[in-house]
Structure 1
Amino acid sequence: MIRLMKFFNGYLHVHVTGYSPERFLNLCSNRNILLWDLLPSKNGYEFYISIQAFRQLKPILKKTGTKIHIIEKSGFPFMAFRYRKHKFFFVGIAAALLLLFTMSRFIWNVQIDGNSYFSDQTLTKYLEEQGVGYGSRKKDLKCEEIEKQIRTDYPDIIWVSVNVKGTRLVVDIQEVAAEREKDDEEAEGTDLVAQYDGTVTSIVTRAGTPCVKKGDQVKAGDVLVSGCLEIFNDAGEVSGYQYCSADADVYVESSLPYEDKFPAVETRYQETGETRYALAFCTKKKRFEIALRKNTFTDFEKLTKLETIHFGEDFYLPIQLEWTKINELSPQKHTYTEEEAKQTAGRHLELYCKKLTEKDFEILEKSVKINFDKSEITVSGKLKVLEKASKTQQTEKRKLEEKEGQEENGIDTGTNGNSN
């Protein structure tokens, strides 16, 4: 937005020379005259300054004994003066302003905040099915009705706020889906199970029935803490079952196999310094690409940057600019030395251990060895880890078994004894 204002107001690229250019800069700072992109140059400094500020420099130049030279004039005022005799230039400007005014009457960007259970894509697609969103006329949008419709169609969304800001539609929501999902899980019941073979080192149970104790050997898939709770009657017999989501701190020491392979000779790519550029204009349905120079590279990498055209935070346009930089690469064969192979293997191992740590594993010991071959380098071994059990499964429902000779209410129905 600031660059746009500078363009419409006009600015100059100038060069200041003389006896004391530093004093000139200090006086400009004291008088709040904005200078930008200041760079030292031969016998002085180069910088950019607005037309309005340039007109205030005369007393400062006289006081400091400096001279100023205009290198380049930029901005709309100079462009308008340059093309003042070209009628089509002003017709084009008028047409562009009319187009901007027309597009400002529509919604070109939808922003959804506060959602975690429902994705942006889900809610955006729902709004499009209701005729709300990209390309909607702002005057046809009734925000209160949209809010009521969302709450009706999504019971797990308890609060909605819909606002139009510029050409953006901002939807703020609050969900209860996570809490409801948790309640459903507790109603069904979940078990805590072992992910790998190992030895239980400690167990602290907060909810559920512990099925193992410290020192027990467990297999992958064994239930550590059950989500099934037994309910006993006054006689100490099981009279029913209640289900919950098992909650416990169970640590299992395990030995995990580790194996890694990578080629002894790899192809490495280096930039040659040759580049190509491409520009594309993208709308929701179409894409128009302009190759500024044809790409003839055999090996290359693409760096793409996508920008939505907008003015300020709220005035979005239905056009995206896709800038692409293409760097030529030169392939070169490289054979690993023993030291390079060890460093590469070490980096792969550290990355693997980092992923385990993110999954609540503690690395206790690493024991690996490297085998060198002409075509391949192999790393194998074992990792001793301490795992905090987090894997769950649905609790298997149990049926209360009736004892022989008893009904469900506990009355003896046996045939032994006298029946007078």
Structure 2
Amino acid sequence: MATKKQAVKSAAKKSAPQAAKKSAAQKAPAKKAPAAKKSAAKPAAKNSAAKPVAKKSAAPKATKYVYTWGAGKADGNGSMKPLLGGKGANLAEMTRIGLPVPPGFTMTTEVCSYFYDHKRSYPSVLEAQVKAGITNMEKLMGYKFGDAKGFPLLVAVRSGARDSMPGMMDTILNLGLNDDTVKSLATATNNERFAWDCYRRFIQMYGDVVMGVQKLEGEEHEPFETVIEHYKHEQHGENIIDSDLSAADNKELVKRFKALVKARCGKSFPTDPWQQLMGAAGAVFGSWMNDRASVYRRKYNIPAAWGTAVNVQAMVYGNTGPTSGSGVAFTRNPANGTDEFYGEFLINAQGEDVVAGVRTPEPVLNLKKEMPKSYAELLKVRQILEKHFKDVQDVEFTIQEGKLFMLQTRNGKRTAAAALKISMDMVKEKLIDWETAVLRNPADQ
């Protein structure tokens, strides 16, 4: 910088005498000089007047805490994991590359940091940004959040840490249901059993995660599971699977679940969808410090300061009937590295059912017979994901009445033997180079 200043000064010294000589040599009358001065003064006045405007436009904007995605567009991308968490960043990235991802938004990890630094409260601007995020989802889906007359927009609320922490944190599905919206959902879908099934599931998840209706000392089972098991034996004489519960069964279970919440918490189950949403977000942020998550972080050296993001996504439904379902899968076999789709799915089920052990899932390859069109689409998605991410992907998906939706992707964990085979195969397929293959398979693995 010093050299530039010296050069400018030197140039100024040289140009000054030259300008003076030129001015003295000119034959123009002196009276024109004032006009020149006046003309030179105008730009100066404009420049000085423009300075306050520049300062005003440079005023800091409110921190962006909500990043939206949907319909092929996203505020974020896959490189933003520290801010959006792994799930949110990859949902944005899948949206950008044209995959069928239900719209939604991410509350950033900065909200989590604020939450813990300010006695579990939110930044003042967050509410308006969340409402704008919901409005964007309503526009893209064509539904209204809390709509008691038409098809109500329901949302899923999920955690999303920078590094994957499977099973350690909390999820809430079907948020936005109450005694009015469940009826409008039943009418809009002409499927009463489905609507009340969603409501029953929502009360159980929200009651557990947000309201703390959990197993007490001396209780053998989770309280909601105890209620549903007793009801099944009382009404059906056996522990039938949840998908066999009728609309009437689910209505009765909703009543019993609400009574359980009231008895355990001393207050009624919340009916305002906005209250439900912010309560769920707080519970997910709160789950970052629960015992399970804390133990997992210590084991895998994940700093507590990283925090988690919260993802709010429009619900798609795998529990509407025989042409719907949910599943999890790896784009290649994580045990031996074979180039085959590997995973599980359930017909007429929501995503949590697949991992909860409520029913026995089928191998994902069976989808080829059960839902051939959806399976063919899933294979195309598999190829797109591997080509884009250059690695094996661990995905979650839902099929709603034959239409495929992607709910998550992340790099898949694998055995050492599988890692070696996958790397060699991907080099042959020209997905990665030799250097990348070597880095993925250290000698001491």
TM-score range, shorter chain: under 0.3
Greater RCO, CA 8 A, separation 6+: 2
Which is helix-richer, 1 or 2?
2
Q: TM-score, normalised by structure 1?
A: 0.20
Which is strand-richer, 1 or 2?
1
